[in-house]
């Protein structure tokens, strides 16, 4: 690793010979495999951009020239080339972020790790610099073919075409995949471009043959070369980009550093907007990754670097519970269809897709389109289930509000990775959804407390035909089922105070008044039970309930509040997201009890494990019990 260790910044790359560059690429690839296999992370995507990233930093002068990585999960090589060599803390608390981070380096810009944003960022930066007179600084956006399926990317391209003199370079990292294989018209278009080398071969052959003919050969070749645009329209369809006024270079072998450098240098010197089309292979150079047809090791846990096999066996996940229930529902109801935004495997829809291939829609990275399309599917008489990460609902809120809720369409949204996800950083925590959903008129929201409740909630959600419904659950392994001791209407009572004079045994004690009613929402139900144990040890009488359907606030939950001196709401969303509606419903019923909200503070959460993050923000049983003990009278 001597050569890689000698690279403390991009300037160190400039003097390397091509032989040294090839050796460096091999070192980096070996280091990524050995280090990421110990920490987990986005391995396959970064193995695919080793040579491309080296070429970028040899041609451009970061940070004076700005290099933007769309989504950001392909930034590992960039980190190494900008002096960040210790990956032992990757994706850990106080360690190296799994995405670009401005706190780590001046070479990093976009931190949000949500796809399809880089072209808008790039146009804004380049335009701003033009206004400031800094026209000698280049802006480079590296965007994958998957991210190009997102609507924002096309909105930006449309606008970029009006500013074609800007020193702006768009590098398409085309590996035919986003998380898994890329689908849609854009994917088909790029597939045609990948096969366009026959045009260059034709032109090269014609030049050799015609130059053998004295006198007329050169003139005939010049005429042929002048027909370049027409020939390309026939043999290669990149005319779409050129019709937008964008200079197109490619396709280029993204694993050939010399070819990439040549193309990028041409783009650098062109004096306007240039699109460089690089063909790469996800997982390149690592056989276990390239042999994995599912996702080419897009994101891995700890693995054996020799075999690629996981070192830790994960338990049954919340996603597994949903996945199996969707297949069962699909067998029972032919009107059930499913949609996702390039996340077929991670949200658990792959089994449904295999069983019902005509009833699945992977729309690409286009959450807005997915939700509005679902409204249309609902109108046609089907019941669509839209599955995305909770953090990505942010991108489709208007469509949920105006296309689904306003039109009373029966659309179910399943939000995976709700609450604190931890290691994927601040933009992947699914902490905003409850606050947003609480503003949507007529919406139904379920937060299952365990795996059995996931299946139950999904089954109930698809019965709702006149309003949107949402089922949300966290990332990771699901615990043992939490049984209810009794049911009050739609509310499950999980714990009762023992009858007067009895031991603490959790037996039902009817609707006797209690000091505290704890409402544990979703995965926080287990925490609510722990809080109850701690307060009961202090002599408090505590009842714990799970409303199951958290919106709209049920009359049954409000009725239980009548029998409590205080209410505490524990949720894994931004604090007050559901505590607010619950508090208002209690007040509207004329019940004069105080409501104590506990949730995630309205701030961006630094990387760490889920346990570390929850401890840091005080969303633990110990911290909440201490807080409540001081407030209860």
CA distance 580 to 616: 23
Active site residue 29: no
- Confidence band of 146 (pLDDT split at 50, 70, 90): confident
Which CA distances in Å does 268 have to 108, 137, 273, 477? 20, 10, 9, 48
Mean pLDDT along residues 345-371: 95
pLDDT > 90: percent of the chain: 71
- Confidence band of 182 (pLDDT split at 50, 70, 90): low
Question: How is the beta sheet containing 274-279 ordered, strand by strand?
Answer: 66-69, 139-144, 168-174, 274-279, 247-253
pLDDT of residue 124: 96
110, 69 in Cβ contact below 8 A?
yes
Helix (H) or strand (E) run with residue 574 in it: strand 564-574
Active site residue 538: no
pLDDT, tens digit, 9 for 90 and up, residues 108-117: 999 988 899 9
> Checking DSSP bridges between strand 168-174 and strand 274-279, what pairing results, if any?
parallel
Q: At what angle do helices 216-226 and 197-210 cross, to 10 degrees?
A: 160
- Confidence band of 221 (pLDDT split at 50, 70, 90): very low
What is the DSSP track for 299-319?
SB-SB-TTT--BSS----BHH
Choice among 58, 84, 359, 395 that is catalytic: 395
pLDDT, tens digit, 9 for 90 and up, residues 251-273: 999 999 999 999 999 999 999 99
Task: Please calculate the CA angle 586-591-594 and round it to the nearest 5 degrees.
Answer: 75
523, 419 in Cβ contact below 8 A?
yes
CA distance 484 to 482: 7
Choice among 84, 282, 472, 475 that is catalytic: 282
Which CA distances in Å does 478 have to 473, 481, 544? 10, 9, 20
CA distance 235 to 205: 15
Mean pLDDT along residues 264-287: 93
Task: Kindly report the backbone phi and psi dihedral angles of residue 609, in degrees, each rounded to the nearest multiple of 5, phi listed first.
Answer: -65, 165
* Element counts in the chain: helices (H) and strands (E): 25, 18
Mean pLDDT along residues 394-406: 97
Is the pLDDT confidence value at 187 over 60? no
Active site residue 51: no
Which CA distances in Å does 494 have to 437, 477, 525, 528, 581? 25, 21, 8, 9, 22
Q: What is the residue whose two structure tokens read 């014609």?
A: 206
* Three-state SS annotation for 335-358: CEEEEECCCCCCCCCHHHHHHCHH
pLDDT, tens digit, 9 for 90 and up, residues 367-397: 999 999 999 999 999 999 999 999 999 999 9
Choice among 27, 325, 367, 571 that is catalytic: 367
Q: Which residue has the higher pLDDT, 404 or 238?
A: 404
Is the pLDDT confidence value at 66 over 50? yes
């Amino acid at each position: 690793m001597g050569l890689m260790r000698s690279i403390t910044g991009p300037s160190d790359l400039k003097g390397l010979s091509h032989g040294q560059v090839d050796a460096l690429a091999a070192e980096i690839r070996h280091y990524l495999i050995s280090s990421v296999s110990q920490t987990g992370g986005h391995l396959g995507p970064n193995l695919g951009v080793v040579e491309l990233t080296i070429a970028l930093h040899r041609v451009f002068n970061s940070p004076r020239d700005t290099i933007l990585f769309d989504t950001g999960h392909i930034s590992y090589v960039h980190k190494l080339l900008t002096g960040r060599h210790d990956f032992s803390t990757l994706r850990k608390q106080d360690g190296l972020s799994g995405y670009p981070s401005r706190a780590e380096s001046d070479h990093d810009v976009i931190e949000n790790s949500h796809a399809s944003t880089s072209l808008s960022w790039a146009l804004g930066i380049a335009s701003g610099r033009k206004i400031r007179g800094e026209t000698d600084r280049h802006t480079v956006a590296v965007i994958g073919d998957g991210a190009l399926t997102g609507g924002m990317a096309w909105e930006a391209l449309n606008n970029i075409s009006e500013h074609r003199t800007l020193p702006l370079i768009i590098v398409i990292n085309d590996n035919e995949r986003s998380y898994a294989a890329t689908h849609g018209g854009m994917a088909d278009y790029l597939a045609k471009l990948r096969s366009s080398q026959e045009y260059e071969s034709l032109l090269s052959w014609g030049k050799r043959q015609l130059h053998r003919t004295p006198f007329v050969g050169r003139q005939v070749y010049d005429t042929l070369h002048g027909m370049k645009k027409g020939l390309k329209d026939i043999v290669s369809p990149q005319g779409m980009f050129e019709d937008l006024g964008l200079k197109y270079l490619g396709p280029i072998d993204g694993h050939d550093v010399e070819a990439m450098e040549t193309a990028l240098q041409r783009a650098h010197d062109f004096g306007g907007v240039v699109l460089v089309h690089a063909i790469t292979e996800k997982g390149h150079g690592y056989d276990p990754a390239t042999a994995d047809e599912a996702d080419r090791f897009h994101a891995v846990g700890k693995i054996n670097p020799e075999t690629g096999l996981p070192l830790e066996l994960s338990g049954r996940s919340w996603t597994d519970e949903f996945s199996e229930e969707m297949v069962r529902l699909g067998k029972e109801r032919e009107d059930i269809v499913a949609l996702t935004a390039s996340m077929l495997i991670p949200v658990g829809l792959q089994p449904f897709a295999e069983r019902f291939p005509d009833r699945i829609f992977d729309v690409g990275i286009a959450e807005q389109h997915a939700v509005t399309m679902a409204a249309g599917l609902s109108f046609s008489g089907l019941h669509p289930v839209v599955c995305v990460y909770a953090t990505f609902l942010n991108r489709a809120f208007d469509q949920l509000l105006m296309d689904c809720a306003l039109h009373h369409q029966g659309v179910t949204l399943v939000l995976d990775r709700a609450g604190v996800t931890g290691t994927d950083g601040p933009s992947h925590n699914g902490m905003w959804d409850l606050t947003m959903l609480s503003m949507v008129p007529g919406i139904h929201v379920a937060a299952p407390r365990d795996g059995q409740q996931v299946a139950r909630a999904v089954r109930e959600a698809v019965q709702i035909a006149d309003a949107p419904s949402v089922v949300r659950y966290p990332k990771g392994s699901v615990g043992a089922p939490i049984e209810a001791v009794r049911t009050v209407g739609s509310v499950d009572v999980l714990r009762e105070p023992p009858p007067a004079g009895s031991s603490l045994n959790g037996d039902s004690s009817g609707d006797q008044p209690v000091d505290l009613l704890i409402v544990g929402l979703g995965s926080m139900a287990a925490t609510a039970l722990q809080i109850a144990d701690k307060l009961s040890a202090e002599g408090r009488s505590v009842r714990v309930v799970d409303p199951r359907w958290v919106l709209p606030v049920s009359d049954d939950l409000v009725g239980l509040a009548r029998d409590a001196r205080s209410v505490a709401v524990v949720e894994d969303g931004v604090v007050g997201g559901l505590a607010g509606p619950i508090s208002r419903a209690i007040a509207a019923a004329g019940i004069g009890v105080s409501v104590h909200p506990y949730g995630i503070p309205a701030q961006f959460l630094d990387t760490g494990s889920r346990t570390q993050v929850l401890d840091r923000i005080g969303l633990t049983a110990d911290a909440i019990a201490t807080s409540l003990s001081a407030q209860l009278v």
